Structure 1
């Protein structure tokens, strides 16, 4: 057995992991000592233990503080993941001890929260009422780092645009990424059988921000029809803001098709009879490859998959929700 194997098996402790993360965050031995409520010599001693045990230098000492080496960056990344995993294990144990049947932490893009996620939660609770789901809503650039650190079990939302196969993440598509144009039910265009792009450009719009994935197919559609982008616009990805703004104005908006169908069926919005080019990636699940998901996370995944299948069907053909074992 090598020295590094022996150190990992017998000597690596949570305090070493906490020190690595603190040093990366603060880059100063004195500040780290204060944050951990220990003396600065104690910080230096613990860091020395780590470096001797691993046989590599983890941080370069400078007059201004410390900077991680490539070995340090590797250890810091894994330390964050391990500490996050320990925290999740602690939370799951607490849930089990309190009578819950499990716990999972899930990230969701805003477009998934009006219909897909709530209905999947309802389906999950029918068969596992004591399972706890911690839901975190946000954009992918926030959720993906949390997933990589181990803070999330999986993400439900639009799959990444780039074909990354070796980045440690796995994906499963649920349905296509089609979008739909929506207005309030009493909008002048709501009952028209045909709507042209030149007419649409005359109205106010609530648009996805420039550079966001949903923006591209809209710009393509306007350009292909020889129409300039609207000038009276608001930009946001917030589904709640889009809904409230459309209901109180004659503006036109863009939503994922699954959210548009949900609001249309509820009588809250009307979908316009226009097809958008399918330039977006599918909606699906993203998780860390090679990571053993908890039973609670696996069960919620199944609930999301079955809910997505059900929502993809016409409303008249949808059966009663029932989670498969």
Structure 2
């Protein structure tokens, strides 16, 4: 039986601290003082009779017990949010709404096709698409803020508590503007001669790119700009001599119409699975099942 001393504020504060990694940032997000949120965390640890977080000057870190508690706390909060949303929709007799998270490569290449298919299958549904980096989307999925996510399979640590259904494989490309000097002699060892737009830490493709460069004898690239922003990368790469390392789906349209040029480098080593992510503890409703069918129909037609 759940200890009646555990209140909603305990769960909410604990999850926000774990996400923010700092008591101060979590307190600001919840509009609390730092002493108040610290007291709430201490109360929770006393109730469960276990230390859930270690605190030092660099921030907070989950203990083993904290990692276990976080997993179920997130599921509980997400289930409560879904219940509240369901009651609100019933009272207002609203249309069914589906919120999908998509990595930039998926948002740029696959999602337009999926949306067209979905509109034919469920013309009255309201579809919301949110793009962003892998960790951001997976965290939103765990909290119930997203119904599904389409993106690359992340590291095991980031995929805990997430169900992944593979759709296809995608690899990373090195792209430049038309007329770039490197196109005359496309030698991978020369990429350090120019600025490189590089995937940041925490992005799904970062470990793949790191391993690929190490395997090809390329050390750390000092002149690099880290981002997975497709909007920025498309403009900046066309207007400068920067080399953009990015998932193929993000730049598929630009490569097809010649606005960006793929360097003739074999990047098969960077291939990774892209799939549909859901929460295994939540049963899919009818509109989610229809979206899954739309995705499968598009994949079969590629």
Q: TM-score, with normalisation over the residues of structure 2?
A: 0.71
Distance 1:148 1:239, change over 3 A: same
Q: Deviations over 1:249-289 (max 9, x none)?
A: 11111121222323212433221211124345311111111
Residues 91 and 103 in structure 1, CA contact (< 8 A), matched pair in contact too: no
Distance 1:243 1:82, change over 3 A: same
Once the two structures are superposed, the pairs formed by residues 18-57 of structure 1 within 5 Å of their partners are 20-25=7-12
Residues 88 and 151 in structure 1, CA contact (< 8 A), matched pair in contact too: no
Distance 1:132 1:92, change over 3 A: farther
Which runs of 5 or more residues in structure 1 are unaligned? Answer: 9-15, 28-34, 36-61, 314-325
Residues 260 and 271 in structure 1, CA contact (< 8 A), matched pair in contact too: no
Aligned-partner Cα distance in 1 for 2:298–2:240: 32
Aligned-partner Cα distance in 2 for 1:168–1:204: 38
Aligned-partner Cα distance in 2 for 1:195–1:137: 32
Which residue of the partner structure matches residue 43 of structure 2?
66
Query: Which secondary structure does the structure 2 equivalent of 1:66 belong to?
Result: helix
Aligned residues: CA RMSD:
3.5
Q: Deviations over 1:2-43 (max 9, x none)?
A: xx6xxx9xxxxxxx9xx822244469xxxxxxx9xxxxxxxx
- 2:214 pairs with one of 205, 223, 226: 223
The number of equivalent residue pairs is 258
Once the two structures are superposed, the pairs formed by residues 153-232 of structure 1 within 5 Å of their partners are 153-162=147-156, 167-190=160-183, 195-210=186-201, 212-232=203-223
Aligned-partner Cα distance in 1 for 2:130–2:238: 26
Which residue of the partner structure matches residue 80 of structure 2?
83
More displaced 10-residue stretch of structure 1: 168-177 or 219-228? 219-228
Aligned-partner Cα distance in 2 for 1:65–1:216: 37
Q: TM-score, with normalisation over the residues of structure 1?
A: 0.67
Q: Is residue 124 from structure 1 mapped to residue 118 from structure 2 by the alignment?
A: yes
When Rg is computed on C-alpha atoms for both structures, the one with the higher figure is: 1
Query: Which secondary structure does the structure 1 equivalent of 2:276 belong to?
Result: strand
Residues 176 and 243 in structure 2, CA contact (< 8 A), matched pair in contact too: yes
